[in-house]
Chains A and B, each alone.
Chain A
Amino acid sequence: MSGLAKPLKIALGLIVIAGLIVIPMNFNRYGLFILSQWTVMTIAAMGLNLTLGYAGQVSLAQGAFVGIGAYAAAIMTTHGWPLPAAILVAIVLSFGVGWVLGYPALRVQHHYLAFVTLAFSTLAFLVFRNESWLTGGIYGISNIPRPHVFGIATNKPLPFYYVCLGLLAIVSIAVWWLIRSPWGRAFMALRENPLRAQSLGIDTRRYTLMAFAIGSALGGVAGALYAPLTQYIDPVPFNLSLSLDLLMMVIVGGAGFYFGPFLGAMIAVLLPEWLRFTEGYYLMLYAIAVMGLLIWSPSGILGILDRYMAARRTKAASALRAVAKSRLETAQ
């Protein structure tokens, strides 16, 4: 993305943000629900992108953290607590569990780590389903209230969409800041070459755990938003396929790219809706589209853009070189 001029980038960003605020104003209920869902999934995918894309740790448990956050929010808000408190608890809880889950990452890597997190994901699902004294079991928790923000009730879809969008903005800024901080650089060092990172004095143990815990905490935030969005939760949405879907979003959008999760979530949430006119075929087409994309560009959509920009830069640079050379020749 660095090929664009800075003012152009800022203008583009402002247009997109303005569009996200203005355009949904005349969306119907369902359109707003889908768009709100996009913000929730983007937050969760951003967390996974930190763990996977920046720190290089494969996790198949992000869906479980969305579940933990959702249940924390559902249980607390139905007992009269305000949503911000619930979000805070969801963050702390997911952060803690994520930290503990990070310990296997210190012992095993790559696919083994994926398997541990996969097992955790299914275990979490079993807990959601079976501990009915806490989670309502298969009947779930219903009548989850939506919050009041600055005294305005957000029961209607549009105000709640703005709550989601606001939280997405906060998370986006925090992540933007994080990946530019020394921590973010330490995460990337961890991904690129853990051995060298360690020899440069980076505490790889601590940063691996941190990458897991922060990524998981964002999953918790997404969950805490998901509960009031649907106003009813049961264990089914938080099974393994959510974790796999989130992983797919990150890879399809482009792992390790800041805007990857935004695009990935957009494709995973919106593309099936756009393909709905094909009726029963829409998930099949979605699967084929994902496979085709990954064959074409394993680094996701932003990978294509990145390569295009790099090619253009090389071309521009060689054009400059050619000009310089011809000038040199005419000077002689």
Chain B
Amino acid sequence: MALATRTPTKAPTPPAPGPPRRRPTTAAGRLWHSTVGKKAVMAVSGLIMLLYLVAHMIGNLKVFFGPDEMNGYAHWLRTIGEPALHHGWFLWIMRPVLLLALVAHAVAAYQLSRRDLAARPVGYAHRGRRSSYATHTMRWGGVIIGLFVIWHILDLTTGTVNPRGQAGHPYENIVASFQTWYGNVIYIVAMLAVGLHLRHGFAGAARTLGAGGRGRERAWTLAANGLALILTCGFLSVPVGVMTGLVD
């Protein structure tokens, strides 16, 4: 019927009673300024680091083939891209990418965590069965992993804290590190944290990036669990190998 109607859809700034809107104009700005977008940044940066971890884990397994294989592999890494790239450049390209991913991931996590904590200022007197287990493992797990990365670089990249610390001999440095009790403890704890972090983070990242529709939820959860298990076992096989004498 012909009732005259007015559609204020294009009203420039509706005098909304809600808080004022300020939507950044660029896609990147918009992403960074919304909780959903920031999660997407975390998901992408997390996946970059995950890819790196997969490669790293596979590389680590070289340790089981003896010092020559391992040290040769470490040397080969520096030659990737030659002759187009100069010696070592590949690693120096990778490092800022990883650093950027790490920083983005950590800053976003920090900002979102602060926001999340502020969104629930008062807890429940009755602690429920369903605790915030996943959230806690992500936050504290992330911190543990972050600290471990520093240790790990000082241990096996710069050799600063490594008992042997001989550049160009990663095999020997690895064995030396895992022959100390603290080296093992730090590494094992960190790798378990990585596993737990991945287990929740991978499925979460999939959902954040919009995968995992109806019916595929379970598939993503299984994939996350499998991936976490494989990576954790792969990484842990090295110290276990050293401890059991399989690698020496």
Physical interaction between A and B = no
Which residues does B use to contact A, with CB under 8 Å?
none
